[in-house]
Structure 1
Amino acid sequence: MTLDRVRGKLGQVRLQDLTEDHVMAWMRWALQGGRVRGGKAGTGLGVTSVDMSLARLKDALNRAVTRGLVTVKIASEVHIPLKARKAERKTKEAVQPWNASEVGAFVIATKSDRLFAPLLLSLMGLRPAEVCGLRWSDIDLDAATLGIANTRTVMGNRTVVEKDTKSMAGERVLPLPSLVREAVKVKTFRATQAVERLAAGEGYEGGGYVLVDELGAR
């Protein structure tokens, strides 16, 4: 998805003909009217979205230099204007955390859901990529802890990318609250996966991840 935004405007330009002006023009367009989904079409994309696409484009162009396809890193000096960053910070609403009552309502509403255990993990402050990267081997039910050392995300072409946490600070061991421990222990969520594995037979993918679908796909 991050590079799809770029292809739509610059995909017709030959790599050898691409200039810094092309990239600058794309960035201005994306910030001012590049939204085609997920909101009102024709409005500007968020700074973070544009920054991610720009970073992916820079990475691709840098690899092109390494492979000798072009000689100059033409986008290396293209950056989101500081004015745009400040403007977005001023208009962005602060997201208020849930209070105890709202958390309780969420727990009650999702208790019968197949993914109740992973949903509870998200309440512990884990990032979505960390929940997706969690393996059963990372959970110690006896010690009531879980270790965070791995993340999984889906790229625009639906490729699953697995990697370490962004920093050493992100690699951590967290206490497992009793409610979450009960939800993930063998007699509940993991038992559900065992039943699904038997039903799917050879069609079950496996892999040891906590968050998988009924066929073990990650």
Structure 2
Amino acid sequence: MQFIHAVLRNALGQARREELVSRNVATLVRVPAPRYKVGKGLSVEQVKRLLRAAEGHRLYPLYLVAATLGLRRGELLGLRWQDLDLDRGILSVEQTVQRLAGGLRVQDTKSEDSDGVLPLPEVTWLALLDHQRDQKIEREAAGNGWVEHGLVFPSRLGTPMEPRNLNRHFAGLRERAGLPHIRLHDLRHTMVTLLLDLGVPPHLVQAIARHAHVDVTLKIYAHTNLDAMRAAVKRLDDQLG
């Protein structure tokens, strides 16, 4: 693209010297819009395998929240107990934990679209109630070593969890589940695909995923739902064959 602009500038300069043009032809250049890259979601069976591999670990509820509500990694690590209303079964997305400039930073979510109040599926609700009880035991065991930050998924000492440590744990988890190529973020895409498969209207899935535009929601679905597309075109074979 830089080469194209350079050629146009040279041509424009020459043309102006010869008084051949009266407008900037560089304004005719159209730069392609960036493409949104999406990952591949998991099947229901793959999600079950992953969660079975995580059962009994302190991070099991984190993966369950990721799979059922589609929170991003930083949002999972930034989730606080005050963002949960376990009496009403709702969760608010308010902040995120990121590694920036060599250290961990707790920040507000990146945009209004990232904020949101989400209803908890019952399985996630019950897991978080158990997790709250287990964290109290963990806090008491740590004694004076515990540094309270009010986080739902902190380190073993209550401090914000290092995102790279979560990545390392997930890498081992996916190996145990026999899913070596998946990413943590694929659980977010899985939530989108499963809800749309269940017939949930796209605008509601967009609200749950907190996408800025429904086009992003539908693009994830189209990217991950190859089997459904195969079934659709198979119907053409049945009609035309």
Higher relative contact order (Cα pairs below 8 Å, separated by 6+ residues): 2
- Residue 137 of structure 2 is aligned to residue 192 of structure 1: no
1:164-189: CA deviation from partner (whole Å, max 9, x where unpaired): 1111111101111111111110xx21
| Residues 36-47 of structure 1 aligned to structure 2 (within 5 Å) | none
Q: Please, what is the CA RMSD of the aligned residues? A: 2.3
- Residue 86 of structure 2 is aligned to residue 141 of structure 1: yes
Gaps of 5+ in 2: 1-30, 161-241
Give the superposition deviation at 1:95: 2.2
Distance 2:156 2:99 in 1: 19
Which structure is higher in helix share? 2
Distance 1:154 1:127 in 2: 14
TM superposition outliers: structure 1 runs of 4+ over 2 Å: none
- Residue 152 of structure 2 is aligned to residue 210 of structure 1: yes
Distance 1:173 1:211 in 2: 18
The normalised TM-score by structure 2 is 0.49
Distance 1:199 1:142 in 2: 27
For residue 121 of structure 1, what is the aligned residue in structure 2? 65
| Residues 75-154 of structure 1 aligned to structure 2 (within 5 Å) | 95-123=39-67, 124-154=69-99
Distance 2:101 2:42 in 1: 31
Q: Which amino acid aligns with 1:106?
A: L
For residue 7 of structure 2, what is the aligned residue in structure 1? none
Q: Which amino acid aligns with 2:107?
A: K
Q: 1:175 aligns with which of 106, 114, 119?
A: 119
Distance 2:81 2:40 in 1: 31
1:107-129: CA deviation from partner (whole Å, max 9, x where unpaired): 22212111111111111211101
The normalised TM-score by structure 1 is 0.54
Distance 1:196 1:112 in 2: 14
1:7-26: CA deviation from partner (whole Å, max 9, x where unpaired): xxxxxxxxxxxxxxxxxxxx
Give the superposition deviation at 1:156: 4.8
**In percent, how many aligned pairs have the same letter?**
33
Distance 2:108 2:144 in 1: 30
| Residues 66-81 of structure 1 aligned to structure 2 (within 5 Å) | none
Distance 2:93 2:42 in 1: 23
Larger radius of gyration: 2
**Conserved? CA contact 1:193–1:214, under 8 Å:** no
1:33-75: CA deviation from partner (whole Å, max 9, x where unpaired): xxxxxxxxxxxxxxxxxxxxxxxxxxxxxxxxxxxxxxxxxxx
Give the superposition deviation at 1:192: 1.7
- Residue 97 of structure 2 is aligned to residue 161 of structure 1: no
3-state SS, counterpart of residue 152 of structure 1: strand
Distance 2:75 2:158 in 1: 18
Q: Which amino acid aligns with 1:150?
A: Q
Gaps of 5+ in 1: 1-81
